[in-house]
Amino acid sequence: MEMQERVVIVANRTPAAKSAGGLASGLLDALKRQPSLWFGWSGELREEDSNTVQLFSRNRLTVAAIPLTPDAHNRYYNGFANGVLWPAFHHRLDLMCFSEDDYLGYLEVNQHMAAQLRPLLRERDLIWVHDYHLLPFAGMCRQLGITQRMGFFLHIPFPVPCVAQAIPRIDELLDAMCDYDLLGFQTEDDRSAFVALCRERRPEIRLPTTGVYPIGVDPHELQREAEAAPLVELWPEDDHHIQGILSVDRLDYTKGLPERFKAYALLLEEHPELHGHVQLVQIAPPSRTDVPAYAELRRELTALAGQILGRHGDLEWQPLRYVERQHDRAMLMPLYRQARVGLVTPLKDGMNLVAKEYVAAQDPDDPGVLVLSRFAGAASQLDGALLVNPHDPGEVAEAMRQALSMSREERRARYRRMWEVLCASDINGWRTRYLKDLRAVQGSSEPLATPLSA
Ligand code: ADQ
């Protein structure tokens, strides 16, 4: 019998399921090195037989994947997780669409997942649950007699109390979150918003230990990937010396894409001298296409792209390339390295790993400039970026202009500061620090003293 500690990851999706974004890209490599189990939805929708667990192993990682019925998935994932929690946690109450039935579906799937996980568990397991799909998971596990230590990490922001109070059933959700032994957040703002809300609405409840764990990347590995010969040269040297601006996102209303296109249009309007010498490449594969707000966003963005091309483009120069096709990370890294500007302007974002990947990809000798939204968690760490308010097109356009004309010396100095942060808070440190704290929790409700940046 295996007596070694095993880390059990529980997340909405198992790593077998491929999609842009998400958790898998950050955790997977590390988990292959220690005994671990990853449990979650397989990505399969099946009318029947939803009690089957598919198991497969990759090195020391075992993946346990379950299917869901279309109805359960629709209520849990599209309905409550992405129709209520995702918009509200990103301060978009206007897009929140609550139904009692969806909420019950959300609870049912959490309960179903807890029941499916139970027979797979071992005594010495350390359970690490991820993200807003699984807020009530710990409570469901405890009801089933699962006693192993259980921590939770929220990848997205936690809303400020005046916004959070508008979420239907927020008190039940807070109570459920307090069933975890450790709650991890991306930034101190998120952690303190959660604690303030609990104090206000549930003063009698005992808070679990909370901590701040800004998720990182593997900067050396990304740098290696970025040095590979690019499959595409986006801006060849002889092509009129075009300076490239690159944005890479999941197509999501939190990422600020229409606002970004408007800022770029303003830059072109105010700086005709840039015509023929600059190009924005936006890569944005659609996501969550079953949720209505995403289809609307896609229409808006396509219309804005057409306006920019029609108004400013000519037979020789296209000011914008807008690509919906998905590319994997190894293909993207050399593209980041070619861009003079990395434009990352979410309206609200838990961390935003694209910002960190862009920095990691740069040539240290001739790096590009990161233009970053103040409202991305990454802004609390990457002080070498040009920080902007993504709602202010003038400010974003001015930051782009500044980035395009910044001296090499200043670009290098800013890059060095950010590279040091990436190395000091990388993905391995994130994982080991969280798990160390989870092992150590004694039931104290004090926040852990965790550094916010380097
Ligand atoms: P996401 O909202 O998906 O993740 P982000 O952090 O930007 O956002 O991206 C996660 C990963 O997906 C990155 O490795 C990135 O390269 C990849 N990705 C994004 N867009 C892509 C594209 N167009 N093509 C290919 N790959 C793409 C959530 C939270 C974030 C938080 C992460 C991790 O919303 O705030 O940073 O989890 O905690």
**366 and 408 Cβ atoms separated by less than 8 Å:** yes
Q: What is the pLDDT of residues 113-141, one digit of tens each?
A: 999 999 999 999 999 999 999 999 999 99
**195 and 168 Cβ atoms separated by less than 8 Å:** no
Residue with tokens 């922001």: 157
Residue with tokens 């999941």: 250
Q: Which atom number of ligand 1 is nearest to the Cα of residue 250?
A: 20
Q: Is the pLDDT of residue 24 over 80?
A: no
Which band of pLDDT confidence, cut at 50, 70 and 90, is reported for residue 447? low
From atom 16 of ligand 1, which residue's Cα is the shortest distance away? 354
Topology annotation, domain 6-216+427-440? Rossmann fold (3.40.50)
From atom 9 of ligand 1, which residue's Cα is the shortest distance away? 21
Percentages helix, strand, coil for the chain, rounded to the nearest 5? 45, 20, 35
Catalytically active residues, by annotation: 155, 349
Alpha-carbon distance of 287 to 356, in angstroms, equals: 21
**376 and 346 Cβ atoms separated by less than 8 Å:** yes
pLDDT confidence of residue 451: 39
Q: Is the pLDDT of residue 207 over 60?
A: yes
- Tell me which of 277 and 290 has the higher pLDDT: 277
Q: Which atom number of ligand 1 is nearest to the Cα of residue 249?
A: 20
| Whether the predicted model's global pTM rises above the 0.75 cut | yes
Q: Is the pLDDT of residue 52 over 90?
A: no
Domain 219-424: which CATH class?
alpha beta
Average pLDDT rounded to a whole number, residues 274-302 = 92
Alpha-carbon distance of 324 to 158, in angstroms, equals: 29
Domain with CATH 3.40.50.2000 in the chain: 6-216+427-440, 219-424
pLDDT confidence of residue 449: 47
Q: Is the pLDDT of residue 28 over 80?
A: no
Q: What is the pLDDT of residues 305-324, one digit of tens each?
A: 999 999 999 999 999 999 99
Average pLDDT rounded to a whole number, residues 87-100 = 97
CA neighbor of 217 nearest in space, from 2, 440, 427, 359: 427
Pocket of ligand 1, beta carbon within 6 A: 20-22, 25-26, 155-156, 215, 248-250, 283-285, 326-327, 329, 332, 349-354, 357
Average pLDDT rounded to a whole number, residues 264-274 = 98
Q: What is the pLDDT of residues 218-265, one digit of tens each?
A: 999 999 999 998 888 899 876 568 999 999 999 999 999 999 999 999
